[in-house]
Amino acid sequence: MTSRGAGVVCLFPPVHACRLQLLQRINTVRLPAKPPNSHPAPASPASFRSPVVSSRLPSPPGAEASPAPSSAKPTLGGAASQELFREARMAATSAPHTSAHANGNGTHAGMAAQVGAPTNPMATALLTDQYQFSMAYAYWKAGKHADRAVFDLYFRKNPFGGEFTVFAGLEECIKFIANFKFTEHDISFLQSVMPMCEGEFFDYLREVDCSDVEVYSIPEGSVVFPKVPLMRVEGPVAVVQLLETPFVNLINYASLVTTNAARHRHVAGKSKVLLEFGLRRAQGPDGAISASKYCFMGGFDATSNVLAGNLFGIPLRGTHSHAFISSYMSLDEIPDKALRSKDGSRVCQDFVSLVQEWLQKIQVADSLGGVFGDTNQSELAAFVSYALAFPSNFLALVDTYDVMRSGIPNFCAVALALHDLGYKASGIRLDSGDLAYLSIEARKVFRAVEEEFNVPGFGKMVITASNDLNEETIDALNKQGHEVDAFGIGTYLVTCYSQAALGCVFKLVEINSKPRIKLSEDVAKVSIPCKKRCFRLYGKEGYPLVDIMIRESEPSPKAGERILCRHPFIESKRAYVVPQHVEELLQCYWPGRSDKPRAELPSLDKIRSRCMQQLEKLRPDHIRRLNPTPYKVSVSAKLYDFIHCLWLNEAPVGELQ
């Protein structure tokens, strides 16, 4: 195939051809037949779980995937998708990338194999802005491409009118640099769109990888604050510049939606179950997958997204839609009416009749005051059909026709019939109407049924609410009073409706050991120069008091020793702090050619736990919804003096005449 670049011949398939091969491989894996490749699958990356979503346990480290029995239907889990991604990328290159650059953690290729591939196959070296390549060429032409640069990735303002942010997306960034390499098709495409560049530049790009890049980061799932570097990236300036756009892309939405999820968790409270239902409203498939992963990280309990459950081991939840209810016309549409008891000792040959008997009892029960008349029989047929399919997990959508006159009594009749056979129904879902009022009235009925028919636990049926819920509506429900046990939240959660973006930036702070600063008439946009170390200082009560940035050459703050903390730009804002505990924030997650130990990427469950623990450590006034107290971010006295000295040195002096 001849590329669009003049005189350039590409002997390797283009990306769309590789994607076709990838899809063909996926279809092959899904078939029961033995796949063409007989070699064993690689070990699952630490962040991916077993594709069996009913189990929350991750695969044992180093364990190989067991071949599925011939009668089973193989699924494409995290490890399989990662393997297919690697094969597709390899097919587009002349040879697999096997850089032998070594460090204290082994070869670059060895680290890449441990980390695994990005979740999204589109996260490749071309996923960047055009001007990054323009700058890379200019650096290369000037002989500056290998200059050692340090960049900080941070944000300037907390989202959603709050005073905290949850950091997320680190794992995907590390996976990205672990697999960063230009394929021959990538090179051919770049030659076609940059015909003015010299051929040797593309030879340089062929050899580019991230073996000489170092990444220091705050652990994923941490609570973070403006101006403090979330990540510090060091390496050849041309290479690190190419990482700017994908890193900001991978961090911005991840941190935004995780923070949104954490805010929903805070307002709902620890006792409520939060379900992410945003797949159909998310911004495309990749947005939906990211939302499911990061909402779970931010404190949600489960998702409706089956693929996310497969990839990340997130628990799955779901019931049925209004369409399922309205698709039934009568009880005559149920062909098989038999249901075996839970213990298997007997079979009810006519479950429908049993349900009808219970409905009649409910309608005449004295304790219910005769509030129930005739119900919608097509809805009852749908409930019975669903209960026959899922007798151990019967949860009904009760608002298709009328919640109190039809949905609730029909549900109670089916639930009581299931109880006769040893099953316990799960509960109901409300998707419209006055959720506070309906949940309270439904709870009253459940308690009355429990007392009338002596069915222990019936009054504690789970009530799930959905219908365009968000942080504000949940807060309003709390103030009104309600009986909702679980919230299904979609649109406002995954789209981050109240704020579209976090606004992370990636700024040069040092090059060739010389600090650099970016000035602005807007003081909030002035960058903080130098390679820095960052610490969190804790007070006597165990709460964090302040985050402080210091120059790399300065001694670390110590517990019990007084340190002057200064606002980076406001001279009068300063305070002495005597910390009881000091936590260094930045850890090495990609050591490059250095001998520094590499911090392990934890599992999604551990990141979620860290997020919850971090939020519990904050003072309540920092995370309250109304007028939260800003958290203090400071610099050391030496760094403060240096910032302002460099500022004056770099700012041109005006002249008036």
**510, β-bridge pairs:** 150, 515
Helices (H), ranges, 269-321:
284-297, 306-312
251-282 confidence digits (pLDDT tens): 999 999 999 999 999 999 999 999 999 999 99
157-207 confidence digits (pLDDT tens): 999 999 999 999 999 999 999 999 999 999 999 999 999 999 999 999 999
**CA atoms of 620 and 622, how far apart (whole Å):** 5
Q: Is 87 within the bounds of a domain?
A: no
**CA atoms of 53 and 158, how far apart (whole Å):** 34
Cβ burial, residue 467 (10 Å; 0-12/13-18/19+): middle
- Based on the domain organization, do 479 and 511 belong to the same domain? no
Range of the domain at 134: 109-262+500-650
Q: Is 413 within the bounds of a domain?
A: yes
Task: Please give the C-alpha separations between residue 620 and each of 330, 499, 617, in angstroms, as whole numbers.
Answer: 54, 23, 9
Instruction: Judge whether residue 117 has pLDDT over 80.
Output: yes
Residue partners of 15: CB distance under 8 A and separation at least 6: 92, 183, 185
Strands (E) across 36-104 are located at 102-103
- Based on the domain organization, do 253 and 123 belong to the same domain? yes
| pLDDT score recorded for residue 15 | 44
| pLDDT score recorded for residue 34 | 37
- Based on the domain organization, do 459 and 356 belong to the same domain? yes
- Based on the domain organization, do 323 and 463 belong to the same domain? yes
User: How many residues make up the chain in this entry?
Assistant: 657
Q: Is 291 within the bounds of a domain?
A: no
Q: Residue 365: phi, psi to the nearest 5?
A: -65, 130
| pLDDT score recorded for residue 376 | 96
| pLDDT score recorded for residue 106 | 61
From 484, 518, 535, the end of a domain falls on 484
208-222 confidence digits (pLDDT tens): 999 999 999 999 999
Instruction: Judge whether residue 7 has pLDDT over 70.
Output: no
Q: Is 326 within the bounds of a domain?
A: yes
**Residue 110's pLDDT band (boundaries 50, 70, 90)?**
confident
N-term to C-term CA, the chain: 66
474-521 confidence digits (pLDDT tens): 999 999 999 999 999 999 999 999 999 999 999 999 999 999 999 998
Task: Please give the C-alpha separations between residue 129 and each of 125, 132, 148, 244, 245, in angstroms, as whole numbers.
Answer: 11, 6, 22, 9, 6
Which CATH number does the domain housing residue 332 bear? 3.20.20
| pLDDT score recorded for residue 101 | 53
| pLDDT score recorded for residue 459 | 97
Instruction: Judge whether residue 28 has pLDDT over 50.
Output: no
Helices (H), ranges, 162-305:
170-178, 184-193, 199-207, 237-268, 284-297
Instruction: Judge whether residue 32 has pLDDT over 60.
Output: no
Q: Is 564 within the bounds of a domain?
A: yes
- Based on the domain organization, do 233 and 373 belong to the same domain? no
The two three-digit tokens of residue 116, written as one number: 């695994």
- Based on the domain organization, do 575 and 439 belong to the same domain? no
DSSP state, 9?
B
- Based on the domain organization, do 339 and 435 belong to the same domain? yes
Proportion of the chain above pLDDT 70, given as a percent: 83
Coil vs helix vs strand at 628: coil
| pLDDT score recorded for residue 56 | 39
The two three-digit tokens of residue 47, written as one number: 């962040």
Q: Is 269 within the bounds of a domain?
A: no
DSSP letter string, 535-583 = EEEE-TTS-EEEEEEEETTSPPP-TTS-EEEE-SS-TT-EEEE--SEEE
DSSP state, 482?
-
- Based on the domain organization, do 323 and 256 belong to the same domain? no
Q: Is 23 within the bounds of a domain?
A: no
**CA atoms of 417 and 409, how far apart (whole Å):** 12
Instruction: Judge whether residue 3 has pLDDT over 70.
Output: no
CA 548 to chain centre: 28
From 484, 512, 540, the end of a domain falls on 484
| pLDDT score recorded for residue 370 | 64
Task: Please give the C-alpha separations between residue 475 and each of 277, 375, 492, in angstroms, as whole numbers.
Answer: 19, 33, 14
Residue partners of 344: CB distance under 8 A and separation at least 6: none
Which CATH number does the domain housing residue 630 bear? 3.20.140.10
276-312 confidence digits (pLDDT tens): 999 999 999 999 999 999 999 999 999 999 999 999 9
- Based on the domain organization, do 357 and 240 belong to the same domain? no
510-566 confidence digits (pLDDT tens): 999 999 999 998 998 999 999 999 999 999 999 999 999 999 999 999 999 999 999
- Based on the domain organization, do 151 and 212 belong to the same domain? yes
**CA atoms of 135 and 130, how far apart (whole Å):** 9
Indicate the pTM of the whole model.
0.85
Q: Is 580 within the bounds of a domain?
A: yes
- Based on the domain organization, do 643 and 525 belong to the same domain? yes
From 484, 516, 537, the end of a domain falls on 484
Helices (H), ranges, 368-506:
377-389, 408-420, 435-453, 471-480, 491-494
323-374 confidence digits (pLDDT tens): 999 999 999 999 999 999 999 999 999 999 999 999 999 998 888 866 678 8
Element (H, E) at 232: strand 231-236
| pLDDT score recorded for residue 95 | 40
What is the pLDDT of the chain when averaged over all its residues?
A: 87
Q: How many domains does the chain have?
A: 2
Instruction: Judge whether residue 318 has pLDDT over 60.
Output: yes
Nearest of 644, 655, 628, 637 to residue 161 by alpha carbon: 628
Instruction: Give mean pLDDT, residues 396-418.
Output: 97
Task: Please give the C-alpha separations between residue 604 and each of 171, 178, 240, 414, 488, in angstroms, as whole numbers.
Answer: 10, 19, 27, 38, 21
DSSP state, 598?
P
For residues 74 and 30, the answer to whether their CB atoms sit within 8 Å is yes
- Based on the domain organization, do 472 and 324 belong to the same domain? yes
Stretch among 33-42, 98-107, 425-434, 446-455 having the lowest mean pLDDT: 33-42
